[in-house]
Amino acid sequence: MSKIAELMLQEATQLLTTQAVDAVLAWRRGEMGYDPAPAFFRQAEELTDLVYNEFCGSNLSKYLLAASQKGERVAVFLKPCDTYSLNQLLQDGRVQRELVTVIGIPCGGMLDIKQIKDQGIKGVKTVTVAAGQVTLVTAYGTKVVPQAAVLLRKCTACKGNEYKIADLELGDKLPVPPGTDRFAQVRALEQMTAAQRFSFWQKELSKCIRCNACRDICPACSCEQCIFDNPQAAVAGKANANSAEEQMFHIIRAFHVAGRCTDCGECARVCPQGIPLDLLNRKFILDINEIYGEYQAGATSDAKAPLLKFDPADAESTIVSQRRG
Amino acid sequence: MLDSSEQETKTFEPLIVAFCCNWCSYAGADMAGTARKAYPANVKIIKVPCSCRVNPTFILRAFQKGADGVIIAGCHPGDCHYTSGNYYTRRRLTLLMSMLDFLGVDKERLRLEWVSAAEGNKFAEVMTDFVATITTLGANVKLRDLRCQK
């Protein structure tokens, strides 16, 4: 990882000093080693803060939206899964391709600091990943944990190490982390009774504090004006008739990106309440795959999303609904 | 002597919101009227230019405001006034019904039907059937918003 970070620094310095771009979009060092944050670097001198490590899970694609509107030429570092989101933004016509320099950077799976802390590991200083094991040097000594136990939730369903769009690729591709079936939890829920599902979502969605983080982070949510920013919309939340009912916000949020969601998992990653929001998106993806054919949003920048097209021979809604019991 | 739950179902009158497209189903409702085909008065019709004008938000909002069932009626596939609007509606509603089911809400509360301008009979039949289904399901509690109760 540190090798890649060096290559990134070299590339970024060159791009900024030659003024080939107005800004470099990457991660800035945080207070601790495990809290890097997305940042625009506009001066070569600022680049000392550029960092790339196992905690750079955030997807930088969405930040290109604002830059593209301002007409800024930006060089962005994208991990393989992030390139799907950029493709989707290009497909939606939200980012100007000619303003963006895409630099692909390898990723072997990002780590979740919360899960590391949950295992009772404190004072993390440095992290190294090798052969499925994570070695954590902490203030209290060295700890070794299996990578699968501390991976970010979204990285347990890795999309692979191929870049779907890149002008330049840095470093060698890294092995894909151990994966699980991304639809396993959706299918498990489908097997439950309606009452069980309702109580599952009651429990999860009643945790929601409507911070809008899931909306703000979502690279597919790219409207300039959002229905939820209108205080008159009234569809945002819902006053519960009994103590725990689900809120409408999440149905609308998930529906709005149905067919355009690349399953980047950012919504679930940023949720401060730990709601598995990606399940709603994955349900739509699974339905689309089953009813309208396999589709991976963002695999190319010129495909048409399944809800933006149709086939006269599509099944009738009611029939699909009845057959599925 | 009826027990309280039985009494409740006997007196329960569902509120049904029907989004009808201007070109086929709304005219179909007119046809039902001129042909003097009776259908339950529980159905409140909202005219929309095309069935694909119905944003899923409209449906959820109707449920929030106290609808017990929502039905979307449009031109038959292939007959859309705008040539293809109803095909998009079909895809969207298939997914929305599935999502409601996934959240544990009765998916029968949402229905999509194709009713042409000539099908007054079908309009009355569909509405009668839908009202009967919703009456059996009872009041929509899971999607109703307390703030909307006045």
How far is CA B121 from each of CA A118, B44, B111, B125, rounded to the nearest angstrom? 63, 18, 18, 6
The edge-to-edge listing of strands for the beta sheet with B69-74 is B43-48, B16-21, B69-74, B110-114
Alpha-carbon gap: B1 to the closest alpha carbon of chain A (Å): 30
Structure confidence at residue A11 (pLDDT)? 95
> Which residues make Cβ contacts (< 8 Å) with residue A201, sequence separation at least 6?
A246, B103, B104
> Which residues make Cβ contacts (< 8 Å) with residue A271, sequence separation at least 6?
A213, A214, A277
Size of interface A-B (CB pairs under 8 A): 119
Q: What is the phi/psi pair of residue B34, to 5°? A: -65, -30
Indicate the residue of A227, A246, A311 with minimum beta-carbon distance to B103: A246
**Mean of pLDDT values over B115-127:** 96
Q: What is the phi/psi pair of residue A145, to 5°? A: -130, 150
Burial A180-214 (b: 16+ CB within 10 A, else e): eebbeebeebbeeebeebbebbbebbeebeeeebb
* B77 CB within 8 Å of a chain A CB: yes
Distance CA A197, CA A188 (A): 10
* A140 CB within 8 Å of a chain B CB: no
Indicate the residue of A242, A252, A318 with minimum beta-carbon distance to B112: A318
Mutate to test the interface with B, among A252, A307, A321, A322 (most CBs of B within 10 A): A321
Alpha-carbon gap: B35 to the closest alpha carbon of chain A (Å): 27
Q: How many helices (H) and strands (E) does chain A have?
A: 12, 8
Structure confidence at residue A62 (pLDDT)? 94
Give the confidence band of B47 by pLDDT, cuts at 50, 70, 90. Answer: very high
Provide, as residue numbers in chain B, all residues whose Cβ is less than 8 Å from the Cβ of A238.
Answer: 64, 143, 145-147
Structure confidence at residue A235 (pLDDT)? 60
Nearest CA in chain B to A289: B95
Alpha-carbon gap: B145 to the closest alpha carbon of chain A (Å): 5
Distance CA A30, CA A90 (A): 30
Provide, as residue numbers in chain A, all residues whose Cβ is less than 8 Å from the Cβ of B64.
Answer: 234-235, 238, 248
Mutate to test the interface with B, among A250, A277, A310 (most CBs of B within 10 A): A310
Contact check, Cβ <8 Å, A197/B77: no
Structure confidence at residue B91 (pLDDT)? 95
* B107 CB within 8 Å of a chain A CB: yes
**DSSP summary character for residue A151:** B
> Which residues make Cβ contacts (< 8 Å) with residue A120, sequence separation at least 6?
none
Least confident range from A292-296, B11-15, B144-148: namely B144-148
ipTM value? 0.89
Amino acid at A60: L
Structure confidence at residue A287 (pLDDT)? 95
Contact check, Cβ <8 Å, B91/A306: yes
pLDDT less than 50: residues of chain A: 243-244
Structure confidence at residue B119 (pLDDT)? 95
The count of residues in chain A is: 325
Q: Which residue has the tokens 């109760």?
A: B149
Strands A168-169, B16-21: pairing kind? unpaired
Contact check, Cβ <8 Å, A314/B141: no
Distance CA A58, CA A78 (A): 10
Contact check, Cβ <8 Å, A241/B60: no
Q: Which residue has the tokens 């008065």?
A: B41
Provide, as residue numbers in chain A, all residues whose Cβ is less than 8 Å from the Cβ of B141.
Answer: 241-242
Q: A264: alpha, beta or left, given left = phi > 0 and alpha = psi -120 to 50?
A: alpha
Distance CA A284, CA A84 (A): 17
- Using alpha carbons, select from A156, A164, A182 the residue that is nearest to residue A286: A182
Tokens of B33: 């009227």
